[in-house]
Structure formats: C-alpha cells, structure tokens
Structure 1
C-alpha cells in the first residue's frame, strides 16, 4: 500500500547559532486511491484539496483514511527537544447512489 506524505513547514530559525525546530503539519493517505490536488496556507489555516485517484470498488478497500499529523517541538535546557505529535484521522468513503 503506497502512502503519500505531504509536509508543510517553515525554515528553522536560528537563535544564537543554534537551529530551533519549528512545528510541522503533514498529511498522509493511500496514494493508490487518493491524490493531492492542491495545498495552500491562508491566515492561520492549512488547506488540502484531495480527489479520488482510483475508486475503491474492491471488497475491503472502502473507506480510505486521511491522517493529518501535527508535530510541536518543546526545546528544553541544553538544547534537548521533545515532541508532541497529534494525529487527526479522517475517513473518506465512496458511495454509489442509484436514481
């Protein structure tokens, strides 16, 4: 199963010659079924537009999961950094509606 990862982040800033890690946000999904059409940052929000690459018509292939992972650094004394990671999972389903 192929996974696509898309990461939006800023360049790390330097403080006194040390590189300080910045928070990151990434989106991941099964690229066999879903494709990323567009992504952009506006105001305080990140937007992703996705569409079907291939419809999940096989048994056991529906629904598809799209995960958004936010990583937040916590720099401590001595330059050690611990990270908080928050994963938000979204379910994308394909339905056939009869007339």
Structure 2
C-alpha cells in the first residue's frame, strides 16, 4: 500500500510518497494535478520562509514566531491539500498527516 505523508521540510513539497516503507516518486495522479501542485508549492514556500540565513548570530535560524503567526494560514493550506488528495484518491493510497496536530500546538 502506498502511504502519502504530509510533512513540512525546507525547500521540499509537503507531500512524501512511501511504498513498502521506502520513499518513492509521487504517483502520476498526484504529480500531474495542477491544483494539488499549486497548494503544495504554497505550503513549501511558506514553510521555507521561516528559515533565515546569517540571522541571530547563526548560519541558519528557524523563525518559530513567524511560524506561530502564520499558524492559521498553514492549517488552511494543509486542510486544502488533504481535501484535494482525498478527491484524487482512487483507493490506491492512504494519507498520514504529520503536520496538523503539530501546528495546532503552536
């Protein structure tokens, strides 16, 4: 069974596709869906914007306050992303949301 994990990472789509516990390429129905890719890109850009370079006397610093301030925006985008994944799902994958509960705790 294919598992789609929703996880934020610097300069990476929040969509991570696993098959038999190994990361793999996105399914064509995911990779080729413009709406899904647009939402994914918005999430990626927002999350990546929290990283600041040569800031706070560190080579790379994560701005937790900005992430907290954007909490409602990120939750809305992730909800849209999961809803679209559910629309596309033909039963060939399950979705594991690793972000919503973390973000709600901010």
Question: Is this a same-fold pair by TM over 0.5?
Answer: no
| More strand by percentage | 1
TM-score scaled by structure 2? 0.29
TM-score scaled by structure 1? 0.30
